[in-house]
Chains A and B, each alone.
Chain A
Amino acid sequence: GAGVSQSPSNKVTEKGKDVELRCDPISGHTALYWYRQRLGQGLEFLIYFQGNSAPDKSGLPSDRFSAERTGESVSTLTIQRTQQEDSAVYLCASRYNRGSYEQYFGPGTRLTVT
């Protein structure tokens, strides 16, 4: 079956521009996570969606970052007025909520802000 997909795989943008990253979770997975991975560092939690509940946004680093998810489908992470420190790999993961603890990760979007 299809895994988690993310698009684009690579994105180069100029400082100050807005970018939108997309995540398609595995069908039936109610939980969805976004992470940021800076070069040589671990994963930094950004946001968590669970079904139709209010998302946990506690990891978003600033109000330039926002994310949406409609029901249990696609999610988009938007970064406004990008800064060079936003350069990183953005990872999405999904999880089947009932009795499963394993997150399935997408391949990531590598964002470079010039």
Chain B
Amino acid sequence: AQSVAQPEDQVNVAEGNPLTVKCTYSVSGNPYLFWYVQYPNRGLQFLLKYITGDNLVKGSYGFEAEFNKSQTSFHLKKPSALVSDSALYFCAVSPNFNKFYFGSGTKLNVKP
């Protein structure tokens, strides 16, 4: 079965420290990978994507993600967290753009 796992329900980090939000997947073929963010009372917003090419991709708001094919992972990272980064983050995977599989979400709490 196709699936996306975000093993941490919540990640806590101090402002200014690096952050990592983990995502692993089990989807056939060479899927396309995405991160979305959901701020309170707002819709999901696109952060970044991996389609092909360099394993490290850069996205909005200083976020980046590293694709690791052998580990089927696509972890979200940021070198220095901001309080305003506090939100719910979703990893998404698609084999063909027809169907997207989303993880259950990770709540990021950045403390001042």
Contact = CB atoms under 8 A, between A and B. Distances in A.
B7 to A, nearest CB: 13
Given A42-B90, A42-B103, A42-B104, A105 B98 contact: no
A101 B34 contact: yes
Contacts of A3: 43
A48 B44 contact: no
Nearest to A48: B98
Nearest to B103: A42
B61 interface: no
Contact of B44 (A56, A101, A105): A105
Given A91-B44, A101-B49, A102-B46, A45 B99 contact: yes
A33 interface: yes
Interface in B59-110: 90, 92, 97-105
B104 A33 contact: no
Interface in B18-74: 32, 34, 36, 42-46, 49, 51
A107 B41 CA distance: 8
Contact of A108 (B43, B45, B51, B90): B43
Nearest to B42: A107
A31 B92 CA distance: 17
Nearest to B9: A40
Interface of B: 4, 6, 32, 34, 36, 42-46, 49, 51, 90, 92, 97-105
Given A56-B99, A91-B43, 16 more contacts: A31-B97, A33-B100, A40-B104, A42-B4, A42-B6, A44-B102, A45-B99, A48-B98, A50-B98, A56-B98, A58-B99, A101-B32, A104-B46, A105-B36, A105-B43, A108-B43
